[in-house]
Structures are given as C-alpha cells and as structure tokens.
Amino acid sequence: MYYLVFALVYVASLLPWRVLYALSDVASFILYRLVGYRKTVVADNLLHAFPEKTPAERKEIEKKFYSRFCDNWIETIKLISISKKTIRKRFTGNVSIFFEQHATGRSLQGNFGHFFNWEALSFFFSATQPYQVLAVYFPQKSQVMDRLLKYIRGRFGSVLIPLPEMARQIIPWRRKQYMIALIGDQSPVVPAASYWLNFMNRPACFVKGPEKYARGQNIPVTVTLTTRPRRGYYHCESHLLVEDPSALPEGEIMRRYVKFLEHNIRLQPELYLWSHRRWKHAWKKEYREMWIGEDDTIPNGQ
C-alpha cells in the first residue's frame, strides 16, 4: 500500500504549481463551503483571539485560513520531488544567526509554531544553514502516512526523531553539533503538568519539554517569524530568543516564545493553524502553581 500511495503522491507532485493551486482552491471550497470542516472551532478561536475585530473582519480571516490550510498540504505534496534550487527561490529570509551560532561550536534549539508552511520551512533550513537538523515529530496513526511524511521530511538530510523516543534517540548526538527543531505550541496531554499563561487573550497550557531541554543542555534558542508575501512564496526571519537558558528564571523561555508567537500571528493571522483545538483545556485553580504569566493576570479559575 505504501508504494502505491508514494507513487500517486510523487506523480501529483510533478504537476505544475498552477494546477496544484487550482486543486487547492477546489479543496478549500469543499472544506469550507460544503463540509464546514471544524468551522465552529475556527470561528471560536478567532473570536477569542481577536475580540477587537468586527465579525466581518474575523470572517475574512476565516476564509483566508481555509485557503492557506489547503495550500499547505498541496505544497507538502510538492515537497516529495522539489529541488533545493526551487526551495531557495520560494523562500527568502536571514540565516546569518545560524552561521554565527554554529561558529561558536554550540548546538542550537529552534522553537517553531504551526504557521503555514511549516513543512516547507524545514526544507529551507536544511538547505541553507550549517547545522545538522534533528526534527522531533509526532508519529502518525496511519503507518502509510507516517512512512510517507518521514520520507518527505528527511529528503534534505534532516534526522527524524519521534517524540516518544526522543530521550533515547538523542543520546548519540549529545557530543555532536546539531540544531534540534521543536514545535512548541502543541496542546499538552496533561494540563496539570504544563506551563500556563495567557495566549491570544485566553489561558493556555504549553508543554514544558522545549524549555526543559534547552535548560538541560544550556543551548541557545531561536525563533522564526514567518510571513507569506504571495501565494507559494514565504519569508522567514530568525531571531535569537535566548542565548544562555541557565541564566533565566524558570518559565522565561516559554514566556518569550509565546510573546513571539502572538507577534507572528498578528502579522498574518490566516497563516496560523486555527482548526487546532489549542484551547481545549480549561483553566482550573488547581493549576495556579503552573502559572508563569504575570501574577496580576492569573485567572480566578473554576
């Protein structure tokens, strides 16, 4: 089954961009107009994130989101055959921070978010910066899809590390120089064991893993701001978020990361993954000790 799916996806990836985007337009119409895929979730997320906007303004973001959402997966199909030359053509941005940090001999942690197109962004970094990329990912339930995504994500040399096996698979790299790529805005499984702070006007929990790893290894942390100048083209600006994690109080790395996420979201909100149930865990007073936001912003709880 895998080889059949691989062959179909590979052939589809050879189609011209204009054809693929036409298919994306059709998919967007079906998901948004006919199926209504997670429209309630998207609308609720946008309402809480942008209460200052009018219903018409939020509706416009919603429509654009579904278009970007479908483009994201169409572009991911293209990645199965895309060349480094094309990636460099369609992505612009600074990578100087990675060369500067690499010259110090230290490893690096890159904290990313669910901004379109995060799959293509990993290709850009693999093709343009000096670090060996270790990409931590969530395994897919479908073995066929998991194998296909692992092939795509590893095409330009990234080493794929499944999150459940991270502690074991990272051991051989401890004495080598690498950049570990983590997406830190996932919704945690255990909210009681997570960091809590306000994110886009609502209390939200964040996994402790990215901060814990950066502190344990005492390696610099970068973040990348992603924008889309036009369809099929992206611009990314990477910044040093933390140089010396051990010198900061607990929670500070996450506070800075979340602040950066919010900044990126407000630049082009349609690029964020609003269909994700990011705020599904409700705040409870029992989580008070996990609050890392400002003291005067702690919710009353339930």
Q: Can you spell out the DSSP letters for 192-254?
A: GGSEEEEETTEEEEE-SHHHHHHHHHT--EEEEEEEEEETTEEEEEEEEEES-GGGS-TTHHH
149 in a structural domain: yes
63 in a structural domain: no
pLDDT at 87: 93
Q: What angle do CA 261, 250, 164 make, to 5 degrees?
A: 70
190/290 Cα distance (integer angstroms)? 12
Residues of the chain with pLDDT > 70, as a percent, come to 99
180/59 Cα distance (integer angstroms)? 37
Q: Tell me: the pLDDT tens digits for 155-212? A: 998 999 998 899 899 999 988 999 999 999 999 999 999 999 999 999 999 999 999 9
Q: Tell me: the pLDDT tens digits for 263-276? A: 999 999 999 999 99
The secondary element (H helix, E strand) that includes residue 109 is strand 108-112
53 in a structural domain: no
Give the phi and the psi of residue 48 in degrees, each rounded to 5.
-75, -35
68 in a structural domain: no
23 in a structural domain: no
What DSSP line would sit under 7-57, residue for residue? HHHHHHHTS-HHHHHHHHHHHHHIIIIII-TTHHHHHHHHHHH-TTS-HHH
Q: What angle do CA 98, 164, 152 make, to 5 degrees?
A: 55
pLDDT at 299: 86
Q: Are 137 and 161 in contact (CB under 8 A)?
A: yes
Q: Residues 260-264: what's their mean pLDDT?
A: 97
123/117 Cα distance (integer angstroms)? 10
- Reply yes or no on whether the pLDDT at 138 is more than 90: no
Q: Tell me: the pLDDT tens digits for 286-301? A: 999 999 988 777 887 6
pLDDT at 301: 60
pLDDT grade, residue 302 (50/70/90)?
low
142 in a structural domain: yes
280 in a structural domain: yes
Q: Tell me: the pLDDT tens digits for 121-133? A: 888 988 899 999 9
Domain count, the chain: 1
pLDDT at 300: 76
pLDDT grade, residue 253 (50/70/90)?
very high
159 in a structural domain: yes
pLDDT at 22: 98
- For residue 171, the enclosing domain spans 84-297
pLDDT at 84: 92
Q: Residues 246-256: what's their mean pLDDT?
A: 95
Q: What is the mean pLDDT of the chain?
A: 94
40/57 Cα distance (integer angstroms)? 16
- Reply yes or no on whether the pLDDT at 109 is more than 70: yes
150/9 Cα distance (integer angstroms)? 14
